[in-house]
């Protein structure tokens, strides 16, 4: 073969190899373009489903995204004299795809969280048949034809019990006496709610250690799952509304009925971008809405969140259509997921192995719980506890609203709130509030106020004639709180 013919053969082979390589690259770029379009569609669907962006933002984004996608895809798949423009398009597409995947992950996490929070709410309580630790009773059948003593037990719970076993139910006038009679062997079996059982454990030394639970009855409490804003002047649509925050005295499942240990009314005016946090001491001596009897505010939670909200409405003479319930699990999980918080302490004090100095303290979730529950270390008692709870809320808000924290711990924050957060605010209302904030981008003025009172000893509806520590409301404090709430709500 001549040298010229051999060179032509080699050129032909090289040309074929070049075309083959170009075809492979073209296929690769087309696959990248297709993947980008798919990622963009998934991202777009997630954003629409999230429903937190105003219509004008969605419109602008849609137009911009269509133009951008067409430009990038054309830049990637169209044959150019050199691959310079193609490589630039590839880099941009990979970068934007990474952002879309990242944001989609956040959006899907938010959708999952909102679906969990805004499912139909319910409250449940457990009732226990309790006997002494050394009792020969081992199962419910053993108490056949026995007397069962109780104090304030729901009628349907009593009916449930009598369907299972034939017993005689004996009403007692005092919860503490009920517990003492069991310990002193004056009665053999008592029936209490889980919250009453906890209260007896607080009031009677070694009560839980000296007794055992023979049988458990589950009971569901009727709860208003939708906000009653139809006839109210204060609702989210009007831009002026109240949200009651109840921190319940339990860990675990948020649906469990429990005492309302942290009580804060959040008054919000989206028109003026003002918010007022009004803290109410747990031991405030108030009139229970449904029973017309005096009790501690914290005990209102025993009868369901609606009772707490309605009782607070009566106290402050304002409409409260929305509530948020959180339990102590929320505090521990959230603070730990945030990597701790910097909380301000007004005093030096120690409790449960933690030492808090006056000034800022970096604390974990368990320490935050101890800090927000302590009252015995202060002359102000429950008044100071309320202030400490506000300090914890402020510290959490500062940490959460920090841009770095939101970017790096967003999904962790949502995970920490799942299962320990409950509200009757509709998801559409939350979306409306977020959209309004995006539309205005206005800064907020947030103020705090605390109700005060004087310590006393008095009987309560939930404990009967037993004298307990209560805080008698300071009438001037209550009147001032009403005025401040009206001022924020534009009355």
- Tens-place pLDDT, residues 378-401: 988 877 887 888 888 888 878 876
Q: Which residues contact 323 (CB under 8 A, 6 or more apart)?
A: 243, 244, 245, 246, 305, 308, 309, 423, 424
What pLDDT score does 363 carry?
96
pLDDT greater than 90 at residue 127:
yes
* Cα separation, 371 vs 363, whole angstroms: 9
pLDDT greater than 70 at residue 265:
yes
Tell me if the pTM is above 0.85. Answer: no
| Average pLDDT score over residue span 17-43 | 80
pLDDT greater than 50 at residue 364:
yes
| Average pLDDT score over residue span 398-407 | 70
pLDDT greater than 50 at residue 13:
no
- CA dihedral for 140, 145, 151, 155, sign (positive or negative): positive
| Average pLDDT score over residue span 471-485 | 97
What pLDDT score does 223 carry?
63
3-state secondary structure the chain: CCHHHHHHHHHHHHHHHHHHHHHHHHHHHHHHHHHHHHHHHHHHHHHHHHCCCCHHHHHHHHHHHHHHHHHHHHHHHCCCCCCHHHHHHHHHHHHHHHHHHHHHHHHHHHHHHHHHHCCCCCEEEEEEEEEECCCCCCCHHHHCCCEEEECCCCHHHHHHHHHHCCCEEEECCEHHHHHHHHHCCCCCCEEEEHHHHHHHHHHCCCCCCCEEEEEEEEEEECCCCCCCCCCCCCEHHHCEEEEEEEEECCCCCCCECCCEEEEEEEEEECCCCEEEEEEECCCEEEECCCCCCEEEHHHHHHHCHHHHHHHHHHHHCCCCCEEEEEEHHHHHHHHHHCCCEEEEECCCEEECCEEECCEEEEECHHHHHHHHHCCCCCCCCHHHHHHHHHHHHHHHHHHHHCHHHHHHHHHHHHHHHCCCEEECCCHHHHHHHHHHHHHHCCCCEEEEEECCEEEEEEEECCCEEEEEEEEEECHHHHHHHHHHHHHHCCC
- pLDDT tens sequence across 45-82: 999 988 888 888 899 999 999 999 898 888 887 765 56
- pLDDT tens sequence across 309-345: 999 999 999 999 899 988 866 778 889 988 899 999 9
What pLDDT score does 113 carry?
80
Q: Which residues contact 258 (CB under 8 A, 6 or more apart)?
A: 194, 195, 198, 248, 249, 250, 301, 302, 327
Mean pLDDT of the chain: 86
**Whether the Cβ atoms of residue 330 and residue 417 lie closer than 8 Å to each other:** yes
pLDDT greater than 70 at residue 11:
no
For the CA atoms of 308, 309, 311, 313, what is the dihedral angle to 10 degrees?
A: 160
**Whether the Cβ atoms of residue 280 and residue 315 lie closer than 8 Å to each other:** yes
């Amino acid at each position: 073969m001549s040298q010229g013919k051999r060179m032509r053969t080699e050129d032909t082979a090289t040309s074929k190899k070049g075309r083959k390589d170009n075809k492979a690259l073209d296929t690769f770029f087309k696959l990248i373009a297709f993947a980008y379009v798919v990622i963009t569609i998934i991202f777009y669907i997630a954003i629409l489903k999230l429903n937190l962006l105003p219509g004008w933002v969605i419109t602008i984004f849609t137009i911009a995204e269509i133009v951008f996608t067409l430009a990038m895809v054309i830049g990637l798949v169209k044959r150019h004299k050199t691959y310079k423009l193609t490589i630039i398009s590839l880099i941009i597409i990979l970068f934007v795809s990474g952002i879309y995947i990242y944001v989609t992950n956040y959006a899907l996490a938010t959708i999952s969280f909102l679906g969990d929070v805004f499912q139909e709410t319910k409250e449940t309580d457990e009732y226990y048949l309790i006997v002494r630790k050394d009792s020969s009773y081992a199962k419910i059948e053993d108490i056949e034809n026995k007397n069962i003593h109780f104090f304030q037990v729901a009628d349907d719970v009593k009916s449930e019990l009598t369907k299972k076993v034939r017993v005689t139910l004996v009403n007692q006038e005092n919860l503490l006496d009920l517990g003492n009679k069991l310990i002193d062997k004056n009665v053999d079996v008592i029936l209490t709610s889980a919250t009453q059982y906890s209260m007896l454990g607080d009031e009677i030394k070694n009560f839980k250690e000296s007794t055992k639970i023979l049988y458990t009855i589950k009971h569901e409490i009727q709860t208003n799952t939708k906000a009653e804003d139809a006839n109210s002047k204060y609702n989210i649509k009007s831009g002026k509304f109240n949200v009651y925050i109840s921190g319940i005295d339990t860990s675990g499942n948020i649906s469990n009925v429990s005492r309302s240990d942290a009580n804060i009314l959040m008054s919000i005016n989206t028109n003026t971008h003002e918010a007022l946090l009004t803290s109410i001491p747990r031991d405030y001596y108030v009139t229970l809405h449904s029973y017309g009897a005096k009790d501690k505010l914290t005990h209102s939670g025993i009868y369901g969140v609606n009772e707490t909200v309605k009782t607070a409405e009566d106290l402050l003479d304002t409409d409260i259509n929305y509530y948020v319930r959180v339990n102590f699990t929320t505090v521990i999980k959230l603070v730990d997921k945030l990597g701790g918080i910097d909380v301000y302490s007004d005093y030096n004090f120690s409790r449960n192995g933690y030492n808090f100095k006056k000034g800022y303290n970096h604390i974990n979730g368990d320490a935050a719980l101890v800090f927000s529950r302590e009252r015995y270390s202060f002359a102000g008692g429950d008044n100071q506890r309320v202030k400490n709870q506000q300090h914890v809320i402020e510290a959490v808000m500062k940490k959460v609203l920090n841009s770095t924290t939101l970017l790096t711990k967003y999904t962790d924050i949502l995970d920490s709130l799942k299962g320990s957060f409950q509200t009757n605010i509709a998801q559409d209302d939350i979306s409306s509030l977020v959209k309004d904030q995006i539309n205005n981008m206005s800064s907020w003025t947030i103020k705090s106020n605390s109700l005060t009172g004087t310590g006393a000893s008095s009987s309560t509806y939930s404990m009967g004639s037993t004298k307990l520590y209560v805080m008698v409301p300071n009438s001037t404090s209550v009147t001032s709180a009403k005025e401040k709430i009206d001022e924020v709500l534009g009355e």
